């Protein structure tokens, strides 16, 4: 129900779909790092993640090493 509501609100507000935003992110060279330590306790598997050209599985040390040279980071 929540997914349907969000899609409806995004359409009403003329916001790009999640698929469109992911495509734009790839075009702009956005890199995505997924924390492997968080995946295990949450029960996520690699094959459940999105198909994305700049997706890397890593730990905190690797993320910090990459993020230190970046102009923008978003940690969720």
Taking only the tens place, the pLDDT of each residue in 53-75 is 999 999 989 988 988 888 887 77
> How confident is the model over 28-56, as a mean pLDDT?
92
Q: List the domain range (segments joined by +) for residue 22.
A: 1-28
The answer to whether residues 73 and 44 belong to one domain is: yes
Count of domains forming the chain:
2
The answer to whether residues 71 and 56 belong to one domain is: yes
The answer to whether residues 23 and 36 belong to one domain is: no
The answer to whether residues 23 and 51 belong to one domain is: no
Per-residue pLDDT, 67: 87
- The model scores a pTM over 0.85: no
The pLDDT-based confidence of 41 (bands split at 50, 70, 90) is: very high
Nearest to 24 by CA among 36, 33, 16: 16
Both tokens assigned to 58: 């890593």
- Cα–Cα distance between 17 and 75 in angstroms, integer? 21
The answer to whether residues 54 and 21 belong to one domain is: no
The answer to whether residues 19 and 46 belong to one domain is: no
The answer to whether residues 48 and 37 belong to one domain is: yes
CA 60 centroid distance within chain: 16
């Amino acid at each position: 129900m929540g997914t349907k509501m969000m899609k409806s609100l995004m359409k009403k507000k003329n916001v790009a779909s999640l698929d469109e935003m992911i495509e734009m992110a790839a075009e702009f060279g956005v890199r995505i790092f997924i924390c492997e330590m968080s995946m295990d306790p949450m029960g996520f598997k690699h094959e459940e993640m999105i198909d994305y050209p700049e997706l890397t599985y890593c730990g905190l040390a690797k993320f910090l090493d990459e993020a230190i040279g970046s102009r923008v980071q978003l940690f969720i």
